Chains A and B, each alone.
Chain A
């Protein structure tokens, strides 16, 4: 089994401490991270997480009376390893705000209404071509109430289990053409412009299935020089 792991390129990864995110200076290690030569322990990893956690399928926008409010969107996301090979059987966890920019979470404040028909999270497994698809509603932006006020643009959180422990990735996906992308402190904490762009999904013009939702395609690279940047 081929198990060469290239390091991530530091320029493609976000700064650990950023202005306007007051938790980052309290929680990011001060000491330099320790470099280690990977052993079997890091070059293996859980492959059967789906047997331990509850999967929650590809339609979180709901149907009939249980439909969430918002712009229907369809996400088609491919998970790749560092060689660009699809990672089939990967567990992907996703969560997002509702169309008004509100999460179901005790710490989220009352700036916007909850949607009783929207749980806002999914857990899926990629197919043999590394792809998973999700029907959801487009998340709303939400304000960050720090003194110099900024907003999180519409985004979706992903947590991905690759084939090895070193490939564990937690990141976010953004939407193209959003004016708030340019001021987002978290997206712009990634120094390399191409790496930032790789966090933005691609809008697919009408004419492809499904016909009743806006389609976005995206790809997530778990490791290597072209690795998708981590995001909180």
Chain B
């Protein structure tokens, strides 16, 4: 039984089945395997004092292995991988960790490979958006970030992307 604290009782209280089983695995869609290199992305989400946040919702949106978005705004969308949705959702565990299995996205003209992130949680009056990159480069969205903070958007290893909502090494978020 949890002690009722301010934390415990303002919400939002996401429904028990808000994160569907398999929603964090983008490598399979409707039972069929997506094309490309399967990768895992994981990370810890923390608040100002470094405390890890449990049951926080993370969503991602990305292009397929060919760099194509499954959306009519993409002029190449007719060639999009039919077995790749490009969207996923995960909740953080008790240690504040989220995990996605996905496909390493291809680049688009003018954009480096990247994955869009969205975070929703208690204490966030508005959802927060950020973008993960695989390496430093001349991407316009990365270049919009002050140079000293760019490295915070670049995944480490295979592939770790921590999200600090506030405080030391605060993740850059975008004004969307």
Contact = CB atoms under 8 A, between A and B. Distances in A.
Given A31-B149, A44-B71, A52-B20, A39 B141 contact: yes
Contact of B116 (A42, A54, A95): A42
Interface in B126-171: 126-129, 131, 140-141, 144-146, 149, 165-167, 170-171
B114 interface: yes
Interface string B60-94: 01110000011111100000000001111100000
Contacts of A121: 15, 17-18
A153 B170 CA distance: 33
Contacts of B20: 52-54
Interface string A133-160: 0000000001111100000100001010
B30 to A, nearest CB: 6
A93 B57 CA distance: 14
Interface residues of A, dominant DSSP: loop
B13 A166 contact: no
A212 interface: no
Contacts of B86: 46
Given A37-B140, A232-B122, A23 B10 contact: yes
Given A14-B126, A119-B15, A22 B7 contact: yes
Nearest to B165: A27
Interface residues of B, number: 74
B40 interface: no
Given A34-B172, A48-B85, A23 B120 contact: no
Contacts of B39: none
Interface residues of A, number: 75
B95 interface: no
A19 to B, nearest CB: 12
A68 to B, nearest CB: 14
12 contacts: A1-B73, A13-B126, A14-B125, A21-B6, A30-B167, A40-B73, A45-B87, A47-B71, A52-B87, A95-B15, A121-B17, A166-B176
Interface of B: 2, 4-18, 20, 23, 29-30, 47-49, 51, 53, 55, 59, 61-63, 69-74, 85-89, 108, 110-111, 114, 116, 118, 120-129, 131, 140-141, 144-146, 149, 165-167, 170-176
